[in-house]
A and B are shown apart, each in its own frame.
Chain A
Amino acid sequence: MKDFPEDSVGLVVPQTIHFDQPLTLASGRTLPHYDLVVETYGQLNAQASNAILICHALSGHHHAAGYHTEEDKKPGWWDSAIGPGKAIDTNRFFVVSLNNLGGCHGSSGPNTLNPETGQPYGPDFPIVTVADWVQSQAGLADHLGIEQWAAVVGGSLGGMQALQWSIDFPERLRHCVIIAAAPKLSTQNIAFNEVARQAISKDPQFHQGHYYAQGSVPKTGLMLARMVGHITYLSEDGMREKFGRELRSGKLSFDFNPQFEIETYLQYQGERFSATFDANTYLLMTKALDYFDPAADYDNNLALALKQVQCDFFVASFTTDWRFSPERSREIVDALIEAGKKVTYTEIQAAHGHDAFLIPIPRYMEVFSAYMNRIADTLEKHDAR
């Protein structure tokens, strides 16, 4: 058997959990039943008090850590933070990671079969919101026998789910970890999302979302959407540092083929993404982002929305992130201070832009570990009593 790194959770097997309880969505529509694909790492303790929920970002899924097969070249998307001795220490915590509703990695979504019709949902899959996801995740917690999470943790769109958890189920989490997120999208954020959606829906292969039946894939549109998205995930400095104006062949070729390294890189990223991601899911995820605005129900006053939260907060941002800049995280922090809630905030020096939340930057891992270890210390002390 292959040796995985010592700080890896090793081989993991996803499981599909079926839910028969109908889920009423923010749109007013109902999902009569649905599946969630889940991975877990570590052991749930006897008191079920050491569970951590990982919420994924736009293109994420349930496979956050470890490997599916011995041949896997890459581990899960947040393997840098989840594992034995890592920031989210699987020797101490029971970690739950899922693919959200509307996703394309096994949970009910546009590319899964609608039991009513026997056909893929396609564009008929209802628009889901961050609050809907949180509802479904609460159902998952019930299923796993977890009354209260030790922490709900997420970066980017995942951080938004964590924030929504604290508002919708204040008594069901003790800590909320919000990394590189925002209390709502800016106009500019929505604008970028719309470019991505247009790229997909205007692709001739899109067929109004019914491309499965046509045996086609709106690959060009999905690629473009990802390329635009990817630009917003990197910082200008980071891009310059990594690619500069390097030419692939060393000289200008005077044609319209990709010549600069950055062009090749974006095409490669788009290509790879379009082979593994579903276009309808991409549309859904960007809508969930656009709609997220927990303060909207509270007179647009975030501090008021946070009045009833009970958990402690850890908020982190990255200096060169311009998608969800440090100012956006500070809006959350300022509202928490105003509401009199417990909050710790760090601003990590990093050149990687928004992507930094996935990268094990030493200072980031130091503060993240310090916070998570304190959670573990407190609950182990409490349980020993």
Chain B
Amino acid sequence: MRADLEIIRDWIRPGSRVIDLGCGEGELLEHLVNEKQVQGYGIEINADNITACIEKGVNVIEKDIDEGLCGIRSNSFDTVVMSHALQTMHRPDQIVEEMLRIGKECIVTFPNFAHWRARFYLAFRGRMPVSKFLSYTWYNTPNIHFFTFKDFEELCVERNIYIVDRTVVDHEHKHRWWIRLWPNMLGEIAIYRITR
């Protein structure tokens, strides 16, 4: 399992109600259902990912998250997960609000655009960064909103969102001691646990 999913997994209580927005092939949910007996649902828009979820027996709902989550009742989930998808949303701020509406607690992961390699790329090459993790060119990337850890935390302050936990890792989703020294410069991926 992807290392960030392992971190998320450890944050989720057994037997709780979980919804994974942009659940991909349903890897996290399959694990949570089998090992932690959670009541899990995934939202996904990609056809192949949906088929993969069905084959795994993961509850998957075909839906464009950009259209909102209006059919889902407020506070009806213990945990709402969105892993590596916030930067692909048209209005990340509104999605975060929706997540906080339907769930008691939200887990969000996203790539840090202020990582030194991205800064270096833009500063010296004068071009939009392309890396292993951000492996698209500017015109075809699904990542339409680039932001940094600092940006996200500022949004949290503005909107009165409480950050319960934050973990910053490198592109292999590994913890490194030095990342903690200067996370916004050295961290590539952040995993936030937020609530209101």
Q: A interface vs B, CB < 8 Å?
A: 330-331, 333-334, 337-338, 340, 342-347, 363, 366-367, 370-371, 373-374, 378
Contacts and interface: CB of A to CB of B under 8 A. Distances in A.
Contact of B72 (A334, A342, A346, A347): A334
Interface residues of B, number: 19
A186 to B, nearest CB: 17
Interface string B51-67: 10111010111110000
B39 to A, nearest CB: 5
A337 B51 contact: no
Contacts of A331: 71
B61 A367 contact: no
A347 B62 contact: yes
A369 B60 CA distance: 15
Given A330-B71, A338-B73, A370 B39 contact: no
Contacts of B71: 330-331, 333-334, 337
Given A344-B59, A345-B60, A363-B47, 10 more contacts: A334-B72, A337-B71, A338-B76, A342-B59, A345-B62, A346-B50, A346-B62, A367-B54, A370-B54, A370-B55
A366 B55 contact: no
A329 to B, nearest CB: 10
A367 B50 contact: yes
B17 interface: yes
Interface of B: 17, 39, 41, 47, 50-51, 53-55, 57, 59-63, 71-73, 76
15 contacts: A333-B71, A337-B76, A340-B39, A342-B59, A343-B59, A344-B53, A344-B59, A345-B61, A345-B62, A345-B63, A366-B51, A367-B50, A370-B55, A374-B54, A374-B57
A338 B73 CA distance: 7
Nearest to A373: B55
B51 to A, nearest CB: 5
Contacts of A330: 71
Interface of B is mostly: mixed
B41 A371 contact: no
B65 to A, nearest CB: 14
Nearest to B64: A347
A315 to B, nearest CB: 9
Contacts of A347: 62-63
A366 B55 CA distance: 11
Interface of A is mostly: helix
A347 to B, nearest CB: 5
B17 A367 contact: no
Contacts of A378: 57
Contacts of A334: 71-72
A343 B62 CA distance: 11
Nearest to B45: A347
Nearest to A313: B59
A344 B72 contact: no
A17 to B, nearest CB: 35
B34 to A, nearest CB: 14
Contact of B61 (A333, A338, A340, A370): A333
Given A334-B71, A371-B54, A343 B61 contact: yes
Contact of A367 (B39, B51, B63, B76): B51
B50 A337 contact: no
Contacts of B39: 340
Nearest to B77: A337
Nearest to A371: B54
Given A330-B71, A370-B55, A340 B50 contact: no
- A-B pairs, top 10 by smallest CB distance, nearest first, are A334-B71, A370-B54, A345-B61, A346-B62, A347-B62, A370-B51, A371-B54, A344-B60, A370-B55, A340-B39
Contacts of B41: 337, 343
Contacts of B50: 346, 367
Contacts of A343: 41, 59, 61
A370 B17 CA distance: 25
A346 B53 CA distance: 11
A346 B54 CA distance: 10
A227 B62 CA distance: 33
A181 to B, nearest CB: 16
A333 B19 CA distance: 14
A346 B59 CA distance: 11
Contacts of B57: 374, 378
A342 to B, nearest CB: 5
A26 B55 CA distance: 39
Contacts of B51: 366-367, 370
B99 to A, nearest CB: 15
A370 B73 CA distance: 29
Interface core residue of B47, B62, B71 (most chain A CB under 10 Å): B62
A113 B60 CA distance: 48
A378 B54 CA distance: 13
Nearest to A327: B71
Interface core residue of A337, A338, A345, A347 (most chain B CB under 10 Å): A337
Nearest to B55: A370
Contacts of A346: 50, 62
Nearest to A340: B39
Given A333-B61, A346-B62, A347-B62, A340 B54 contact: no
Nearest to B76: A338
